Structure 1
Amino acid sequence: MEALNMNNDIYEMIHYLTMREYMKIDMLQKELHITHRQFIYRISKINQLLNERGKTELRVHDQVITVSKATNEDLKSILSEKIGLKEDYVLSRRERIICIFLMLFLNEPGMYLKIDVFSNQLQTSRTTTFSSISDLKKILVADGVQIVNNREQGYFLKGAEIDIRRVMSKFVISSLSIDHNKKKFDLVISGHGLLSYPEVLKVFQKTADRYKLNFVKSRLDELIYFLIFLRSRFCHHPLLNDYPQSLQMMTTFKEYDFSVDIIKQLNVQCSNLRTESYYLTSWILGISFGDIHADTKDKELITDWVKQLLLRFNSLSGNHYQASPKVFERLYAHIRPAYYRLLFDLPILNPLTNRAKKEYSALFSLVKETVRPYEAMFGRPIPDEEVAYLTLHFASIYFQELGIDSSEKTIKQTRKYGLIACSNGVGSSVILYNELVDMFPNIYFYHPISTHEIKDFSKPVDILFVTDSYDMPKEIDIPVVVVHPVISLDERYQLIHEVDMRMGRHSYQFENLMRIINEDTEIKCLGKLKRDLSAFLTTRSEISETPSFKKKNIKLLDIFQSSLIQLQVSATDWQDSIRIAFAPLLKKKMVTSEYVQSTVQDLKKTGPYIVITTHVALAHSRATNGALKNALGLAVLTSPVKFGSKHNDPVKYVFSLSVREDTNHITAMAELTNLLNDKGFFQCLDNSTSPQTVIDYVKKQLESQLKEGN
């Protein structure tokens, strides 16, 4: 039989097949965006691969693919095989682009690469190579990196070293996390005579064991390839030594000692060992989980950052949540690695970014505003990927407040326990957790954990949901279902069907139906009959399109009324300004006098945290202190007063907020924070003589934002 040429499409399908025991063909086609004809072709090629190795082929029957445990291991083995270019593998367009970048990345200073060098190594035509270089140029623009072409000498990369390294990191992360294919990396490594993956892995694991460091498998792969490609640039393309003195505390971390050790063991000659060690340490910390119980020199710094984030979020949202120790621990676990990623502008891949923006748009806006003051610290905007993860963490606080966790009564009534483990940490599993709770009311779900925590989880578990099967401990002996962090409606149907089959649900119906059918008919295919009956019993009508925890959101104009706005009023001090701002609400019996007094007392105890931006205060207290109705007032002062805020005094605009429930006014607060970034809004407040003019301006701006969003 003729040897099979491989490509990324086939590898993508193989990876997908390793994620489930069985799946419907139409769902697989939809997931991979392929036609039925393409599906048939790829399955035949995969079966050819299995056949060539003397392995059992995939079973395709009644529109369902079944993957046994043995076949699953065979497919994973194929993914890990070492191959050569052209004889065994055909590069895709995206892979050619990445290979060209890596070839330029590995080039020494002052050296150029001619078009024939690319064509020969990639074994592509000059026309195809020119096209790939052109595509790469467009991709690099967003990162401030250029491909410069000297007609006589060839091509080279131009840009800040930290930007060039970030691009390399993004290609590595996306290839391993999205494509699940490292073949192109192995081809470049072989073509340039670099240290191989097994060689670096051996050194890395041995050293990691000595320093007692553990890495999630997917993150470990990223770090190994990152090191392989970065090794040459340590020598020839050093980073500028312009990082803050506070980084010196990193020298006390075991991750720093590990980084220095690794650099030396890989025989890297660094012109600035300390700076490069800082960089590598930040990479390691950026893919690790922050342990609040570890006694590290940065613990006070990170703890204070988490506290300030919570305080600012509460001040912007009008909430008074007290994060439980568990929630604080989870925030710390995310904030510590995020701090080091931001410090060195290291990329992060967050598959939930668009979903977080769409599903939690108001919360996302508030979190984005919450972290805005920290942009000055890092000298750049906080990436949306980081904001999205924080959004999900704050969302988890809301879910606890809403009481969506299964009650003790539910625990006693059910015999099934479910656990969710996410390779990207608990933050990215927030949406998944709520969707699964909504889909499977008869399963009690524990709080999500990280994949690396599975082996230490001691409570009873009947079914495990994971977002990636590659980091799974091999000794798991319960049903494991691989799910996407974002589940579409069709996937919900497939998932319910799969869970029912794996857990033996509908067994009572099966037994009775089988007994009835057996009395009058002859069963030709028992497996097909069971699948058909399960599909019939699990109908789409059981599936809701959105989780049931969502509530109707209050919008800004629902609570911000002209009768609550006071223009050009005088106040003697900050306490007087708060009382003036609440006066219309008090008159309309929207708050009690105790609520106003509590707001003043809160500030005396905690400081001017309600001064949320330059010249603006958002005064509020706990709902239990006397919030009678949802309302937002505003007092525009003729003469600003000082609240004691170092960066935002004096205050001219004092908003007064009353909310009866801490969770349903987030949209209103998000709309308000957007207005506070609009200079025209403040011009309107300063120049208007009628409160209705202010309301008209707000209405116009909100309508404009709505149109832009659509």
Structure 2
Amino acid sequence: MTIHFTDNEMKLLKILIEADGYQSINAIVRKMGFSKRSVYSFISNISNKCLEQHIEPPRNVYRQGYFLPDGTKRQLEGLKLLGENTAFHIGKLSSQERQVFDLLLLFLGDQVTTPMLVEWENVSKNTILNDLSQLKTDLKPYKIKVVANQTGHQLIGSELLIRNYMQVKLREHHHLLSVFLNKAKTIPALSELISLSLMLNDWIQTVEKGTNKTYSDDMVLFLESYYSLVLHRMMNNRILKFKTFLMNDVDRNEMEKSNEYNLAYSFIIQFGSELVEYTDECYYLESLLLEGQLNTQGRNDVKKDIVKVSNAIVENFKQISGVAFKDEKQLSRELYIHLLSTYYRVKYHHQYVDGMVAKIRDDYPDVYTYTKISIYPFEKLSEGKLTENEIALIAIYFGAQVVRESQESKSALIVCSSGIGTSRFLMAQLNKAFPDLKLSGPISKKQYQSMEKIKDSIVISTIPLGKLNRDVIKVDPILDENGLNYLQKQLSIHNVVNSKGQLNQIHSLLDVIADNADIKNISGLIVGLKEVLTFSIDPKPKFERGYQPMLSELVKPNTITFADSKNLSWETAIKLAAKPLLENKDIKDSYVTAMIESVKDNGPYINIGSKVALAHARPETGVNHLSMSVLKLNNSIDLVDSKHKIQLIFVLAAVDATAHLKALSELASLLSNKVTLQQLFETENGQEFMDVILRSEKHEISSGM
């Protein structure tokens, strides 16, 4: 095995290998005669090369310095260490990945030429031109252009829009960023990115101590890598000018009062006073910090509002889905922690785009739909619509509670880098699949590495980990059937769980084999038998789903009512809305009473959108047939109080937990579209109302939604 180190990297390695203790960055700078920035770059290069060979890289202890683990010293002494590395090649990428790589280079500078891309990506000139053409098409809706001049291609457009688009793409293709930074060290013009990312890593530790906040491993990695690109761009005069990111003076004054603002200011000013004077850069960096926090430290007024909203969303979900949660307080608290950071992502236009969470929407459509209907209080507070990915992230919390089983006995430690939401959903899947397995955590990689001994019998991790005193099983954050079956086999092999009757079968088979053959490796044979005898697991709960009618099959012209809102109470409005269903004998009078009493008991939870209410109750309170009706008023009325205005009242009569799901999902999409919602408000009769629904359905079908 060979590792290619430069002469300077070899010099730094020698310092660390011969050192008896920690080496501070200042001590290394003195011994090498280079700047801090260069030393950070050398350390990063060494770390990347070690990781490529599965060798533990140099470690940094906060306020102590750097050191090489003993195991690394022994491994490096046994390897052949060579000089300068080979020329830069990014490696084989898909067309979409190449476009992201092109975007990365364009984001960093103006001299991105076609020959340069041909050489680095190892593809033809026509391929590069096709990629750039597609990139231009993708950027057009965002008012961003790729323009070519004598020095190369460059991005032209609003600096904020360019950064926001870059964030979205890097979250979608986060693996490319680490590949890019690893390769960037061979390009002199880009090598400073490595030192910038290391400086950011140190600074984030300072932020955590100074604000009493913590960040997930993924967020730390994203901050140090993405913001290193932003810093590079800022130092090339690509700056957010005054009031281009945050225009409201009240918001600006509020942000300036926080510890995050002061920390952001002191960090950015290191790179030049012009970056903080008459710019929005400090506010922008502060917004990234606010959106990534994991704990409950937040501004008091925001915290109070989000506590109320979290409780309201849980109540909405309970009422709409009919699900009762075993630990509602814990659910509300976890949801609050998540929504606190979500609030800042929405407020400062940094919403998540993560392909992984789309699996929640596809595999658990009922949980996703109920969540989408329930989150209106938060969207009202944040004054912004959530993306599908953000909704799916919230659905994870409810999915975890719905799937979770109460039985727990044996022990496994969960380590996850993706934050609380994904971790909790993984734990819920594990509880469902392995009801006898006690789960502890989730904890971050940083917390795991600080532990000396694991008390649990096994570690289940979504990220690669070094083994302490217990074996580690790596899994995906969200498990499909294959992932669960693999985990079942591994847990069985490690004697953590056993399939029913498995031990008896193994002993019987061993007796038969021993009587008829020579066993050369008894332990290997037992492992193999366990793997063969492990039963498969279906990761999804079994729902009996019959035919699910569309919205247009439930709402008909004869179930749509129009009325004058003058002197009309919300109770009377619900009765009017439900009248067609009573006349059709789809519901009983008791169901109307139950809907009204539910609002009196639980508040205006049926307010699911701007001036829209979805009245409903439990099926057993008087539903004969699955049905839906709607009342449109000429003006809005108060639902319980003046804070909740309603003008459209839908009545849902559900017979079970799933039959109405498709119609409800359609309704959620219909109401989330400002254009179609306004069209509903403008209708004057039942047929016009139906036409809006039918056009919306036709659009969804044609677009494959």
In structure 1, what is the Cα distance between the partners aligned to 2:580 and 2:301? 50
In structure 1, what is the Cα distance between the partners aligned to 2:194 and 2:520? 57
In the alignment, structure 1 residue 331 sits paired with structure 2 residue 335: yes
Deviation at 1:683, TM superposition (A): 9.7
Q: CA RMSD in A?
A: 5.1
The 8 Å contact of residues 89 and 120 in structure 2, kept in 1 or not, is answered as no
- 1:405 maps to 405
In structure 1, what is the Cα distance between the partners aligned to 2:703 and 2:226? 39
In the alignment, structure 1 residue 417 sits paired with structure 2 residue 421: no
Question: What are the within-5 Å matches in structure 2 for residues 310-709 of structure 1?
Answer: 310=314, 324-346=328-350, 348-368=352-372, 382-399=386-403, 404-407=404-407, 411=408, 414=409, 416-429=410-423, 431-445=425-439, 461-469=456-464, 476-503=468-495, 505=498, 506=502, 509-526=505-522, 528-538=524-534, 542-548=535-541, 550-552=543-545, 555-556=548-549, 560=554, 565=559, 567=561, 573-574=568-569, 575-583=571-579, 596-597=592-593, 599-601=595-597, 603=599, 608-613=604-609, 616-621=612-617, 626-627=621-622, 629=624, 631-634=626-629, 636=631, 642-643=637-638, 651=647, 653-659=648-654, 665-674=660-669, 686-688=684-686, 709=704
Change beyond 3 A, Cα 1:608–1:291: closer
- 1:105 maps to 107
The 8 Å contact of residues 680 and 692 in structure 2, kept in 1 or not, is answered as no
| Amino acid in the other structure paired with 1:443 | L
Change beyond 3 A, Cα 1:397–1:492: closer
In structure 1, what is the Cα distance between the partners aligned to 2:123 and 2:85? 11
Deviation at 1:512, TM superposition (A): 4.6
Q: Which stretch of the first structure deviates more once superposed, 496-505 or 313-322?
A: 313-322
In structure 1, what is the Cα distance between the partners aligned to 2:188 and 2:384? 33
In structure 2, what is the Cα distance between the partners aligned to 1:563 and 1:321? 38
| Amino acid in the other structure paired with 1:620 | H
The 8 Å contact of residues 368 and 395 in structure 2, kept in 1 or not, is answered as yes
In structure 2, what is the Cα distance between the partners aligned to 1:73 and 1:309? 54
| Amino acid in the other structure paired with 2:395 | T
Change beyond 3 A, Cα 1:125–1:537: closer
The 8 Å contact of residues 252 and 297 in structure 1, kept in 2 or not, is answered as no
**Quick one: percent identity of the two aligned structures?**
20
| Secondary structure, counterpart of 1:148 in structure 2 | strand
CA-to-aligned-CA distance 1:290-336 (integer Å, 9 cap, x gap): 416x6645312433443554566678768898982211111112112
| Amino acid in the other structure paired with 1:218 | D
CA-to-aligned-CA distance 1:682-708 (integer Å, 9 cap, x gap): 59985458xxx9999979986985686
- 2:62 maps to none
In structure 2, what is the Cα distance between the partners aligned to 1:563 and 1:586? 15
Q: Which stretch of the first structure deviates more once superposed, 82-91 or 346-355?
A: 82-91
The 8 Å contact of residues 121 and 191 in structure 1, kept in 2 or not, is answered as no
In structure 1, what is the Cα distance between the partners aligned to 2:667 and 2:559? 14
In structure 1, what is the Cα distance between the partners aligned to 2:83 and 2:315? 54
- 1:33 maps to none
In structure 2, what is the Cα distance between the partners aligned to 1:157 and 1:83? 37
TM-score of the superposition, structure 1-length normalised?
A: 0.70
In the alignment, structure 1 residue 270 sits paired with structure 2 residue 275: yes
Change beyond 3 A, Cα 1:246–1:581: same
| Secondary structure, counterpart of 2:614 in structure 1 | strand
| Amino acid in the other structure paired with 2:529 | L
- 2:9 maps to none
In structure 2, what is the Cα distance between the partners aligned to 1:458 and 1:296? 38
Change beyond 3 A, Cα 1:588–1:451: farther
- 2:164 maps to 166
Change beyond 3 A, Cα 1:323–1:139: farther
In structure 2, what is the Cα distance between the partners aligned to 1:507 and 1:178? 45
Aligned residues: 624
In structure 1, what is the Cα distance between the partners aligned to 2:560 and 2:121? 70
Give unpaired runs (5+ residues) of structure 1.
6-48, 56-69
The 8 Å contact of residues 564 and 585 in structure 1, kept in 2 or not, is answered as no
CA-to-aligned-CA distance 1:35-79 (integer Å, 9 cap, x gap): xxxxxxxxxxxxxx99x9899xxxxxxxxxxxxxx999999999x
| Secondary structure, counterpart of 1:101 in structure 2 | helix
- 2:182 maps to 183
| Amino acid in the other structure paired with 2:337 | A
In the alignment, structure 1 residue 249 sits paired with structure 2 residue 254: yes
In the alignment, structure 1 residue 288 sits paired with structure 2 residue 293: yes
In the alignment, structure 1 residue 259 sits paired with structure 2 residue 256: no
Change beyond 3 A, Cα 1:377–1:76: farther
- 1:9 maps to none
CA-to-aligned-CA distance 1:102-147 (integer Å, 9 cap, x gap): 443333xxx6555566678889886776566446445544654321
Question: What are the within-5 Å matches in structure 2 for residues 204-243 of structure 1?
Answer: 204-206=204-206, 208-235=208-235, 236-240=237-241, 241-242=243-244, 243=246
| Secondary structure, counterpart of 2:494 in structure 1 | helix
- 1:145 maps to 144
The 8 Å contact of residues 684 and 697 in structure 1, kept in 2 or not, is answered as no
CA-to-aligned-CA distance 1:435-469 (integer Å, 9 cap, x gap): 43443344244686666676799996333322113
CA-to-aligned-CA distance 1:657-680 (integer Å, 9 cap, x gap): 345766775444224434556579
Change beyond 3 A, Cα 1:547–1:136: same
The 8 Å contact of residues 564 and 632 in structure 1, kept in 2 or not, is answered as no
